Structures are given as structure tokens and as C-alpha cells.
Structure 1
């Protein structure tokens, strides 16, 4: 049973059982209306929780699990049959709207309207939102997207093999339907925009390179879970990575996953180990991303929430991408590949470098020059800090919602902006989100952040190349080569060794990193289409 379907059935069953134990006179009808500023119905995510901590749902609902609570994705109007009593009602709709929260005492049939205030309109600024990591079926995803005001997304219907759901063929929405996640000890990578099932049989002893090469041949956007993934450097040096997630599933609504062990998965010498705190995990994701950028790689910042396997709403971690009016999902993915975006799970952040936005290149003459950097960071939550980052170093910081500085640049560089905020959640509420597990569990957190993709700066045509990071990358490739010998199946060893040798050459020469590498001769690691994975009928392709 799909995990989303399981939770929907379980939550509904609990509520039905509780109602069955009450007399009819004890049951009241509670109608929840969610509206916009003009009083028009507005989809939103809704929590109705009694004083014993039980969540209540409409008879038919698309449910969303966040920590211990079960919310539902409402379309603007929902009726619940509940026992008389006091309830906490919380209504949320993505990061552009202020949450609504109320304590409601129900003694009889009641209708309550929750009018959501939109504090910022990103569409009016030319942005559309999306994310790259969702394990949600086609039957549930449209309602979840509408409730979170998420414009585009993915349904990862291939996760180490096909995962087609029954409603898959008939599903419709602004998401791509043949997307794939390859997840193993080589790292998790998401392939978005595929027009047919991924034509490579999953094998945990097979490096990711075969999968991303096949996905790129189909025009996919290739997104790695994090800069700390074991194989991300190799695939990026060979021209097969577009996006690296900075806001990944380590960061969830009201909580984070303490995963210090991800600091150095290959056991590379002299890499830092990050503490198991929310800020430690933020440093892990950002600094491992910076290490890649410092090698001269052009990689957009990414975001994914892992809804369906993590108790997180869709679009909690999302990318806002600048696209022309009327752009569809294909244009959205293309603009994301170009890095015309920022990612967030709370505040917003806008960057300008000599008038250029993220994804653009500022060309300086020999000897370099000065860069005028402007950052705006509007936030619904209290801001802790706004940062300007150049080649992995914070060069300016402040606590207000804007930041201006002038940078003297003498060699190739990149510039990003970042905003860090703290959500003012009451301590008693926050404590509910602690969870233990053998893998490290989840811990409560108020941390929220946003991060831009880079503005690139060349000096006399030369891109960034930070010697410290290049040396680290060389050691990572050495560690990866040893990992391949220990982990890859014999039939994949030779081609992977050839790939690592090519990556070493590109790293030493400073590129080119955009040209896609191919092996000298086809081997067992090359893409083939097993009989069980023939392409779906043409009419099902979401082009």
C-alpha cells in the first residue's frame, strides 16, 4: 500500500471509530472555510486537533502528515463531524501566506471562516515555485499542490524501479510523471522531466553515472540530494549535474534530521564534521555546495521535501524560479537549470550583482574590478541574519531585511545571498516534533532559510578556481576510487575507473565541465531497456 494512502486510511479510521463511540447528540458539524483577502475560497492545508491531541478530518480527505499531526488539504470549504469540545485550528498555505490559528469551542453546528493574508506575491515579481523530491501519487498530488500554492512539482514514479500507482495514467497536473529517484550508497539523485520510464535496471552495485547519462539523453534536469552525496562531484565534473539541493529533506516543517554522519561519507581526509544541530546541518548543505562551486562548476541551488516518505508538506522546501509569464513546466525546468532562482523554506531572498540576477555572468576585464551587491530578504518570520557569500566566505552580514556592499574582485568568483530566520513557534508546540529512531530521528527546530543560486563572475574570461577546494575535490575523487573498488560490481569497475580518470583531468585543467563525458566504448554500464521497463504508450507522455 502506498504510504500516502496508508496514512489517509489510518487517520480516517481513527476518527470514524471515535465518532462511533459517541451518542448522536454529542456530534456537531464543524464547517471550515478558507478564503483569500476578497473572501473567495482558497485551497489551504488545515489542522483540526482536539485537546487530547487527536486530529479530525472530513469524511473524504487528502491527508498530510507533519510530525504527530494529520492535516488535510482543503479546497476552501470542508465539513467535519466532530464531538463537541475545544479544538485548535491551524490553516497554512505555503510560505507566501501568513498562517491562521484559532482556538474554537464547539457546542453546536458551527461555521468558521479563516481569511489568509498574503504577505508577498512572488508571481507578481516574475517567479513560479516548484520542487524536486516528492513521493506522492498522481491521485493526491494536485490537491496537495493547490493547498500549498505550489506551481510545479514532480511525481517520482520510478524509485529504484517503477512505482506506478493505479491512478497514474489518468492523473493531470503541473508535474512531470516519469521522474525517477536513484537512491543508494552512491547518493540520491532526482531526474526530472523524463518523457518515458528510466531505461536502466537498478542495481545497488551500479554507480549513478549510468542512470544520469540515460536521463540526460532524455533531456532531464539532474538534481542531487546534497553536495555531500558520494558521487555528486564525479557526475558534476563530467557534465551531468544541473542542481544540487541546499534545502533538502534534512529540513522539515518544525523539525530537522540530525545527520552529522553525512559530513564525510567517503572518509576523505581533512573534511569537516558538522554538529547534529539545525545550524550544523545548514552548514553541511551549504558548505558542501560551495565546495563544488569553488571548482568552477555551475550548479543551481535546489530544494526538495521528500513528502510521502517524510512527514513534510509538499513544497516546504521549494525553489522560486524566474520565468516568463505563461511559462509551463518545461520552461520552468529549463530556467532552473540556468540557475535563475532561489530556494527557501521560509524567508525570501533577492540578489543583484552589478544589476545581474542569479544565473547570470558578470564579465570583468583583466585585473578585475568592483561589484555592487544588493540583497533584499523579506520575511514573515523574524530575521536572524542576511549574508553575502563569495567563493564560500561570508563577506557581509546584517540583521535587517536588506544588505548592500561593494566587493573588490581580482579573480574569477561567484556570489550568493542567504537569509536565515527563526519561526516563533511556542516551546510546547515545538516539543511535539521530537522523534527518535535508529537512524538519528528528528529534532524540533525553528530554523528557516533561503539561498540564491550564484551570480558568476569572470575576470579576463577566467572562472572561479579556489585552490583549497580543488585540492579537496582531488582527495574526494581518490576516496571515491577506493569506494568504487569496494562497492561497484565487477562489470561496472572499468568504466567507472575511466570516468574518474576523465574527471581528474577536467578538474586539473579547470574544465570544460559542460561537455558531457562518454566512455571510450560501450560496456555493461551503458543504458539498456529491460523487457519489464518498455516505454509507456505515447499518449501518456507528459511532454
Structure 2
């Protein structure tokens, strides 16, 4: 028997035999229809020199006979060899005739022919050719046990599928093995003996056709591949950058570029737990390879003219294969299955987390059931995986099983804003069955009545949303069905009630109702039937020709009637036309704000005009590029009340909320909490403000805002994990007070920010007002009216009039307030209204 031992010298020599003088099929004249059809089938096969599973074969010419026929009606065929070989590789196929197919009596192992090796010393070895073993058989339709399809599997990029390849099939990551004839490697039990000839004989009417024969000398079976492993090229002048790589007997599955080797630099990096991309320090290309032990791997490195050649079997079994001063090293060759537990030290129990495993060279090790290569394209990967910054993670339950390589493993564990991100190294010992990891909670706002939520998630299933929420420390997930042209998503998950309520985590499926011009509105907590239509007004939200039929304000009103919560998502983006209409009518419970300057200032404009609307945080997650809850809402419910979806929604309606992407922030004004109203005399007065911001990563500033202006600030140029302001603030008019914080500019975590909803201040019977802000709202309303009256595709004339009427009501309110409260004069010019105050020059003209 040929040996696959580690001491063997790996590498293959292959000699292709020319069988043209033995070919007898197809002939010029074939009278029976079955044989005619078989001839046509054979003519469609490749011709000339082909490579099958890395083995070259010489097939017959395009025209003429192309196969040896072996059946009981044909004399045995003798092929001269006169050479030594470990394996005789054949391309063959058994074609069953109808009268010999017995579906009612499958006989796997039926001997349909034989291959006999006659040696120079006069001895022989017979290899039976059996149905389902060496050849396929109709009665047993599974894959052949000892032979493989003509075309070897081929890795493809699921993120960038080949042209003409459906995206869904591309997610296999492989173009599967297929086609005929089969490739079969006949093992020579006496490889030191010279083979004089191969004698082929068929035992049935149904013929065995032989199309090609190649002698193989090597250390191992050419069709038995080693397990897929990751390899690195070790060169004296630094980390390898691979320009291209090839392998003869196998597949280069993938080339992945890492940030650099793991070690103290990675363990102490300030990027742990952050959304920032982590800078690469020593980027290196690693090769993911599967192939036969005798395979030769060729690697062309950037900056080098000649490719390096390595033995795959030598690298796999001995740890490395040399090519001059370079080495191909296998990473984590030995793997073993084990149980992994992640323990929350605050409870002593397993807890779901977002986790990243990597080897010593930075190669990502995905837990079983998760993707090593995560597809971050829109709507293309909605499993429990995510890329945060430039790092891969898997969402896992508190206990899971997976295979891990023996040796040093690096891990990052993340569980939301109230847990300290963990980066650590551990060693998997041979035979180890259980691995226990720990994560520490540094803050517990849940015990104080704070509930976290992501107000805006798409595409994933409710149960995947639940797992990801558990891992991210999110209590409420609002999974939103919607329309995207002809695509409808999560509609089948809508029930009109709480979908999942387990382990302090709720998933409720609502809808995001969208209009490309007027704007978007999220219908959360809808009870009963959904608020339809979800989208209108045409692309890119609804489909071509879909008319404007419902305004955002009407959607909001219907959801209110259904007991729901109304959120303006990613405010003020997507439309930015109708916003004043529902906000002025008090139909919007909160604005979902991304914590950038433009969005915040737009929110301030409404607050400065006395329109109370809270702030919330939501991710708008639509792919594996976004972690659920990385921007989230904290809402405070009564600690004496149970945690329910309704109680969470009531907290949002009451304005007891903050939006944050990491920092934990709170505000009290004279003991009043976020969302409260403080009554003061007409002239105002002094209040004591207490603002506090804390974070697992250093912060740069904490500010107190009054009516849009910074009135107090605490900063830390070097960064601090806790910032606090306690001081009196003078209030002179009706308005609002809020707190916000931010990270350190140009440093890791610079994006970190949080903003509270306001504490409102009412001075007597006065109302807050900001003339320029009101003018801005009026311009938006005017634009919406002209759009609806001019180019909008409307359902019918009565629908257009109904929608315009709502805009007209908002316009009249704003005009009235500008005249009465700002004492300004309105006049019309170029399609919009603008004002002049008391100080306008009397001779001003247009």
C-alpha cells in the first residue's frame, strides 16, 4: 500500500498516456438510438490536454473516437504501461442501459468490470469496478464513494460573485464539483514493481468508457486532500505581501490580509470595543489552502520577480516547507472541538457576547456556524456576524461549541456600553474540552430603571435580533419591515404585538414608512394591522409609478391610533421636507439623531420654537457592516413598574431618553430629571445643574446646553472616563436644558458622543420661539406644497388636496407665529416667505 506518512518526501510526478490508438467509440455508424445519444454526449466532453483535480489527462480529438469501451460484449482491452506508479488515475464513466437499471433492487457494490495490473515479474493485481464505489450508478443516486466529478470545486468570493453567478448561490463560497467523466485513482499496492500493462474488462451490457489515463508517482492519494488550514510565508525582509498564489493539486481558498501579528501591542490597543478602524502595524497576507499532500504551492510576492515553490504536505505535517530563505508555515495545524463559556462576573452565569478569536498572526478564527469572510454588502448577509471597524466578530450565546486550534489564541469580547471590553490571550491545551472566558460589568444602569433600545433595525430575523441584542446589551429591538422598490422585508415577521420577550430582551416588529421626498417615519409598537402603505411616492423608497398617497403626518396619526410610538428616523436625512408638519402637530414622539452637528442643530431649531420632541438613538442596521445598538437609546422607566414594551414606549413619550454611541450620560436640574418641566417666574431664575458622563473609553468634553448655547463645559485634553459638571445656571426665558459629551478629537474614540433629551423650563406663560428657525421650517413646508402641487405623482386629485391641506395648516401656524411672536412682516418673493424685523431699513426694496 502507498504510504501517507510524515517521513515521506512529498511531491508528485505525473505522466500522461496517449490512448488514441485504443479508442473505439464513437464509431461512424451507430444504429441503436441509445448508442447514438451516448455518442452525442461523449462528443460534448472536452478534448485534448485537460487538467482534472490537478491531474493532466490527454483526451481524444474533437472529431473521431474518444473513448475505450469495456462491456461483456467487447474483448478485454490491454494497455501497455511499462512504468512504475503509485496510482493510475483514470477518467471513466459507467453508462447504464435501460434494461440493466433496477430501481426496485439497488445493488451498491455490484461488480460491473475490473482493472487488472499485470507486473513485469508475472504477478497481477485485480481491482473490481463496483457500482457507487468506483463508478456512479443510477439506482444509488448519491455521490460516488471512490471517484470524483470531472470539475474540481472552485472557491469564489461571496462578496463579489463571478459574472453571471446568482448572489444566493455565491454564498456557498464555492463553485461545487460537477460533471463527467469521473476521475478515479487506482492505488497500486506494489509501487516498486514495474507495471507491464493495464487490462480492462467489462461485465455488463452497459459499457464502461475510459477517456484518459495518467500515471501518478507521489507520497499520498492525489484525490485525498488535507484539511483546510491557514499558512503564512515567512521571509527575512518582513511580512509577506502576496501578489498571486497557485496550487496544482488543490485550492487557494482565500488570501487574507491581517492588521499584523498579535501580541502586547494588540492586547493593550486603545481600539478595543471601539467602532474606529484599527490601524495596521505589520500587515501580512495569509493563505488559506486545501489540497493533496503532494501539492506544490507557488507564491509570487510583491517586489519579487520569481515565485516561491513550497510543498503543502511538508508544511502541513512538519510545520514548514522551505524555498531558499523563505518558508511556508502552517498556522494552527491541530484543531479540536470544545465547549466555550463566557461568564458575566456580575452574575456568575454564561452571557451572550460579541466575540473575536484570532491566531498569533492575526488570522480571524470564526466560531463554528459563523463566517470567516463576512459579507458587508447591503441586504446580503443577515446572519449573526458583523464587521466593526475593520475587525470580524461573531454573536454567540453564553455557551457554544466550536473547534479551535491548539496553542495560543487571542480574543476580544464585547457586551455593550456597560461592560469593559476584554482583550486577552489564552492557550488551548491538547485534549482540553472546556474553555471559560469572563467579562466584567463596570456599570449597571438597568438596576436604576434605564432600559436600552435600538429604534431602527432591518432585515435580520427576530431571533437573530434577539441574540444580537443580548450580546450587545440592548433590551429593546425595533425590527422594522419596509419596502425598497419591489423588495419587501420582514413583512412576514409582523404580528402587531411583541414578538419575543425573553431574558430581559424584547423584539417588536414595526414598520419604517418612507417617502423619498417628504421623509421617513418609523411606526414602532403598532398594535393590530400595520400602517400601510409602507412606502409611496416612487423610487428609491417605493416602486416606479407608486403615487404619493399618504403624508408622514397621516402615517404618524394612524400609528398613534393603533397605540404605537412615532419616531422620525435618521433625522433630518432622507427627504427633509415634511418634518415640520408632524412635529408641529405633536405627532412625533422622538427624533432619531446620529449625533452630528447638522442633525443636532436641526433638532435645536424645533426645541427653540417650543416644540417638545425627545431624542433617541438607532442604528438603521441594514447589513453586517453595522453592529446592532452601536447607536442606542437609554430610556428611564419607573423601577417599581415591570419592564414591558409599553412602559418603555411611555418613557420615550415622556422624553426620559438619551442617545448615545458609547458614553453614559445623565442630567439633573434642581433635582428634576430628563423629560421633566420646571415652572419658573416670567423673569426666570437660577437653577443648579448636575451633568455626569462616563465611558469605558476616555472622553474629551462634557457640556451643558441651554436653548442651543453652551453654558458650562468640563474638558480633559488627555481624556477621562468620567466627567462631571455641578454649577448654578442662570435662566432668563422659557426654553430647555440638555447635556452632551464627546470623545477626544483625532484620537481613538473621537466619534464617541451622547446627548440627553431636555429638561424643559417654562417661565410664566411664555413660549419659546426662534424666528430664523421658524423661517427655515416655513421654507421646508413651502417646498413640500410646491412639490405636491407640481411634480408629485399623486393617487388622485382628492388625495393631493388632502395632503396639501396638512402642509397649509403648518404654514399658517408658522406664519402666524412669525407675525405675532417675532413681530415680523411676511412677504412673498421667489416662491418663499421671509421676514424683516423692526430694524429693517425703511427704504429696503426688491
TM range (shorter): 0.7 to 0.9
Distance 2:470 2:227 in 1: 29
Q: Secondary structure at the match of 2:447?
A: helix
The 3-state SS of whatever aligns with 1:373 is strand
Task: Give the Cα–Cα distance (whole angstroms) in 2 for the partners of residues 312 and 74 of structure 1.
Answer: 16
Distance 1:422 1:486 in 2: 48
Q: Sort the Cα spacing of 1:168 and 1:69 in 2 relative to 1 into closer, same or farther, 3 A.
A: farther
Shift of 1:147: 1.1
Question: C-alpha separation between the residues in 2 aligned to 1:232 and 1:167?
Answer: 29
Displacement of 1:121 after TM fit?
0.6
Partner secondary structure for residue 587 of structure 2? coil
Match of 1:315 in 2: 629
How many angstroms apart in 2 are the aligned matches of 1:11 and 1:80? 20
Aligned partners of 1:382 and 1:423 also within 8 Å: no
Per the TM alignment, residue 351 of structure 1 is displaced from its structure 2 partner at its CA by 0.6
Deviation of 1:507 after TM superposition, in Å, equals 2.7
2:622 counterpart of 1:289: no
SS in 1 for 2:586: coil
Specify the alignment match of 1:220 in structure 2: 564
Q: 1:150-169, aligned counterparts within 5 Å?
A: 150-159=474-483, 163-164=489-490
- C-alpha displacement at 1:114, in angstroms? 2.5
How many residue pairs get aligned? The number is 455
Check the 8 A contact 2:454/2:618 in 1, yes or no: yes
* Cα distance, 1:131–1:487 mapped onto 2, change above 3 Å: farther
Residue 462 of structure 1: which of 732, 754, 766 is its match?
A: 766
State yes or no: 1:346 paired with 2:662. Answer: yes
Does residue 813 of structure 2 align to residue 506 of structure 1? Answer: yes
Q: State how far apart, in whole Å, the 2-side matches of 1:17 and 1:163 are.
A: 38
Distance, in Å, in 2 between the alignment partners of 1:327 and 1:106 is 41
Pairwise CA distance, 1:33 = 2.3
Query: Which one is further off, 122-131 or 470-479?
Result: 470-479
* Cα distance, 1:371 vs structure 2: 2.0
Distance 1:66 1:510 in 2: 48
Q: Deviations over 1:175-229 (max 9, x none)?
A: 3544000233222221100013324223224243332222222121111124424
**Counterpart contact for 2:682–2:766, Cα < 8 Å:** no
Deviations 1:443-479 (A, max 9, x none): xx64111110011111112232122212222222223
8 Å Cα contact 2:700-2:715 kept in structure 1: yes
1:203 aligns with 2:547: no
Which deviations, in whole Å up to 9, do the C-alpha atoms of 1:333-377 show, x marking residues without a partner?
111111012121111111111211111111111222122211011
Contact 1:64 1:311 in 2 (8 A): no
Deviation at 1:503, TM superposition (A): 0.6
1:172 aligns with 2:500: yes
Separation of aligned partners in 1, 2:415 and 2:746: 17
Contact 1:226/1:289, CA 8 A, preserved across alignment:
no
DSSP-derived class of the 1:458 partner? strand
More helix by share: 1
Cα displacement (A) at 1:10? 4.7
Instruction: Give the structure with the higher percent strand.
Output: 2
Alpha-carbon distance in structure 2 between the residues aligned to 1:333 and 1:114: 35
Contact 1:300 1:339 in 2 (8 A): yes
Alignment of 1:527-538 (within 5 A): none
**d(CA) in 2 for partners of 1:42, 1:487:** 54
Partner of 2:645: 329
TM-score by length of 2: 0.50
Aligned to 2:123: none
Is 1:416 paired with 2:731? no
CA distance in structure 1 between the partners assigned to 2:652 and 2:173 by the alignment: 38
| Paired position in structure 2 for 1:148 | 472
Cα pair 1:237 1:297 within 8 Å, conserved: yes
Q: Distance in 2 between the 1:177 and 1:352 partners?
A: 31
> Separation in 2 of the partners of 1:387 and 1:124?
26
Q: Which runs of 5+ in 2 are unaligned?
A: 1-158, 160-166, 176-225, 230-288, 292-315, 318-332, 372-382, 538-546, 717-722, 819-846
Cα separation, 1, equivalents of 2:652 and 2:681: 28
Is 1:193 equivalent to 2:521 in the alignment?
A: no
Q: Which residue of 2 aligns with 1:235?
A: 582
Q: Which SS does the other structure have where 1:133 is aligned?
A: strand
Partner SS state of residue 366, structure 1: coil
Matched residue, 1:515 = none
8 Å CA contact 2:514–2:536 kept in 1: the answer is no
Counterpart position of 1:134: 457
Q: Quick one: distance in 2 between partners of 1:226 and 1:199?
A: 19
In structure 2, the residue corresponding to 1:311 is in which secondary structure? coil
Return the offset for 1:318.
1.3
Q: Which structure would you say has the larger RCO, counting Cα contacts within 8 Å and 6 or more residues apart? A: 1
Confirm or deny: 8 A CA contact 2:609 2:768 kept in the other structure. Answer: yes
Partner of 2:132: none
Q: Tell which deviates more after alignment, 19-28 or 100-109.
A: 19-28
Contact 1:178 1:196 in 2 (8 A): no
User: Which range moved further: 66-75 or 312-321?
Assistant: 66-75
One of 10, 28, 42 as aligned partner of 2:336: 28
Q: Return the offset for 1:304.
A: 0.5
Question: What SS is found at the alignment partner of 1:499?
Answer: helix
Moved more, 49-58 or 499-508: 49-58
Q: 1:56 to 1:487 in 2, by over 3 A?
A: farther
Partner deviation per Cα, 1:250-287 (whole Å, 9 max, x = no partner): xxxxxxxxxxxxxxxxxxxxxxxxxxxxxxx7112211
Deviation by residue 1:384-425 (Cα, 9 ceiling, x = unmatched): 100111111111111261012322222211111001125998
Contact 1:34/1:41, CA 8 A, preserved across alignment: yes
Render the CA deviation track for 1:24-78: whole Å, top value 9, x for unaligned.
9632335432112254212211112343644412237962312454422222222
Q: SS at 2:596's partner residue?
A: helix
Match of 1:395 among 711, 714, 718: 711
Shift of 1:164: 3.9
Kindly tell me: are residues 171 and 367 of structure 1, through their superposed partners in 2, closer, same or farther at Cα, counting changes over 3 Å? closer
1:45 aligned partner: 354
Q: Is the 8 A contact 1:377 1:402 kept in 2?
A: yes
Give the conservation status (yes or no) of the 8 Å contact 2:705–2:711: yes
How is 1:349-360 mapped onto 2 (pairs within 5 angstroms)? 349-360=665-676
Q: Is the 8 A contact 2:477 2:508 kept in 1?
A: no
Structure showing greater radius of gyration is 2
Change (3 A) 1:474 1:17: farther
Name the residue aligned to 1:379: 695
How far, CA to CA, are the matches of 1:449 and 1:17 in structure 2? 46
Aligned partners of 2:523 and 2:531 also within 8 Å:
no
Paired position in structure 1 for 2:515:
184
Separation in 2 of the partners of 1:102 and 1:193?
Answer: 41
The structure 2 residue matched to 1:300, chosen from 601, 614, 619, is: 614
